Structure 1
């Protein structure tokens, strides 16, 4: 089943949700700020995306700038930062079976539908 990891406050995430609604395919909305991801879930998503944890970080967020920006972090530390501060996770993330994309730009989502 298609899943969208969604932040309703984010315009790009809302655009991704709209694209899925318009696709007429069943999907699940996961509001990851309300129900934070587990470490295993995040690792699974990173594996599907085939990216390093640092590539999923929203580096413009104040939390990142104030607490992590000038530090050299290993992958496990970045994952811990994302788990403890889910606002840092780039969005929206859409998964479909064994594929995933970060929906920026929104059109990228169509590549896995």
Structure 2
């Protein structure tokens, strides 16, 4: 089953979820803002997608925490403490993982 790391306040994340629901694709929804993210999971995201891809540098919090030039461990710990720093939505299907931006990218994953 596809797992979607979802932020209900994000328009891209909501659009991605709607595409899945409209296609009647079963999905396990993880509201990572509410549930949090483990360092192990974040490291997997970073290893597969790249740390650069999953980090939201445009968040004010990124600047407040002075993350520019920080090492990977510090950045992953910051995302774990402040999940809004993670780019979304991230979809995982078996061993495959994508950052579903634009949202339509999710259909490529489920149609493979």
Answer whether TM exceeds 0.5 for this pair.
yes
Partner of 1:96: 93
1:84 aligns with 2:63: no
For residues 70-91 of structure 1, give each alpha carbon's deviation from its aligned partner in whole angstroms, at most 9, with x where no partner exists: x321211111111011001001
Aligned pairs (5 A) from 1:58-77: 58-69=56-67, 71-77=68-74
- Name stretches of at least 5 consecutive residues in structure 2 with no aligned partner: none
- Name stretches of at least 5 consecutive residues in structure 1 with no aligned partner: none
Runs of 4+ in structure 1 over 4 Å off? none
TM-score by length of 2: 0.90
How many positions carry a matched residue from both structures? 110
Aligned pairs (5 A) from 1:8-87: 8-47=8-47, 50-69=48-67, 71-87=68-84
Contact 1:54/1:78 (<8 A) preserved: no
Q: SS in structure 2 opposite 1:82?
A: helix
TM-score by length of 1: 0.89
Contact 2:49/2:98 (<8 A) preserved: no
RMSD over aligned Cα atoms: 1.3
Q: Hey, what's the Cα distance between the residues in 1 that align with 2:97 and 2:50? A: 14
